[in-house]
Amino acid sequence: EVQLVESGGGFVQPGGSLRLSCAGSGFIFDNYWMVWVRQAPGKGLVWVARINMNGKITQYADSVKGRFTISRDNAKNTLYLQMNTLRAEDTAVYFCATEYVQGVDHWGQGSLVTVSS
Amino acid sequence: NFMLTQPHSVSGSPGKTVTISCTRSSGRIASNYVQWYQQRPGSSPTTIIFNDGQRPSGVPDRFSGSVDSSSNSASLTISGLETEDEADYYCQSSDIDNPMVFGGGTKLTVL
C-alpha cells in the first residue's frame, strides 16, 4: 500500500522559515516525479512545486519561486519543501503527492502551515 | 495561463446521476489529460479519474470521465448517487508552461 506521510508543519511568524518532509513507502520512490500541492483554509487545490526522479529538475509556481525549494533524498525515500520568507498567504495544508503522467496519483494526508504574527 | 472553470455546486438525490463540468479557458482540452479528484470533508484528496477517463483500481464504475472538444470541456459523471459521494470534486490538467492547473472545485450535495 502506498503511503505518504508529511511532517514539519506548524506555526511560524511572517518572514520565518519551515521545512516540510514527506516520507514515502509502499512504492519505488525514485521511479516517480513528486509534487507539493497546497490548500488554503476553505479554498481549492493549488500546485506548488515538482521534482523529477533524480532531483535534478525542479519547477515552481510563480507565487513561491525564489522562496521555496523542493528537494528529495531517494536513499531515505523522503521529499522535502524548504519554505523561506513565509507570508500570511502561504497559510495552507500542504500535501505531498506522487505524479503520474500529467496528474497526481497518490496523496499524503497533509501538513498544516500557519503563518501569522 | 489557462483556467479550468467548474460550477460552484451541484446536487442530486440518491440513485440519480449528476455531471460536473470543467471548461478550459484557452488551449485545447484534448491536448492534455484531465484528472478528477474527490475530497471528502476533513480528508485529503483521492484520485478518481486519470487520463481523461481511466479509473484507478478500487474506484467504482459509477464514476466516469469524458472530454468534449466542441465545448473545450471535460465532465465527471457520477451515476447511482450514494450519500458517501458527498464531497468536493476538482478537475486538473496541464500545458507546457503550467504543470498542474486545478479547477476551483465543485461541492456535491446528495439530498
Average pLDDT over all residues of chain A: 97
pLDDT per residue over B80-106, tens digit each?
999 999 999 999 999 988 999 999 999
CA angle B102, A113, B94 (to 5 degrees): 15
CB contact under 8 A, B45 and A107: yes
pLDDT at A106 over 90: yes
A-chain residue closest to B99, CA distance: A102
Chain pair A-B, CB pairs under 8 angstroms: 64
pLDDT confidence of residue A1: 93
pLDDT confidence of residue A29: 97
Of A102, A107, A110, the CB nearest to B46: A107
- For the segment B49-77, the average pLDDT, to the nearest whole number, is 97
- For the segment B9-36, the average pLDDT, to the nearest whole number, is 97
User: Three cell numbers at B36?
Assistant: 478528477
Between β-strands B63-68 and B73-78, what pairing exists: parallel, antiparallel or unpaired?
antiparallel
SS3 B14: coil
The 10 Å Cβ neighbour count of residue B75 is 19
pLDDT confidence of residue A68: 98
Query: What does the DSSP 8-state code read for residue A34?
Result: E
Cα atoms found within 13 Å of the Cα of residue B106, Cβ hemisphere only: 28
Cα atoms found within 13 Å of the Cα of residue A68, Cβ hemisphere only: 27
pLDDT confidence of residue A95: 98
- Residue numbers in A near B104 (CB within 8 A): 44
- For the segment A69-83, the average pLDDT, to the nearest whole number, is 98
- In chain B, pLDDT over 90 holds for what percent of residues? 95
User: Three cell numbers at B37?
Assistant: 479528484
To the nearest whole Å, the CA of A102 is away from the closest chain B CA by 6
Q: Find where cell 498567504 sits.
A: A89
Of A44, A102, A105, the CB nearest to B90: A44
pLDDT at B29 over 90: yes
CA–CA distance, A39 with A53 (Å, rounded to integer): 24
pLDDT confidence of residue B76: 98
CA–CA distance, A36 with B30 (Å, rounded to integer): 25
Average pLDDT over all residues of chain B: 97
pLDDT confidence of residue B57: 93
Q: Phi then psi for B84, rounded to 5 degrees?
A: -70, -10
pLDDT confidence of residue A101: 85
Report the largest interatomic distance among the alpha carbons of chain A, rounded to a whole angstrom: 40
In total, chain A counts a number of residues equal to: 117
SS3 B57: coil
pLDDT at A102 over 90: no
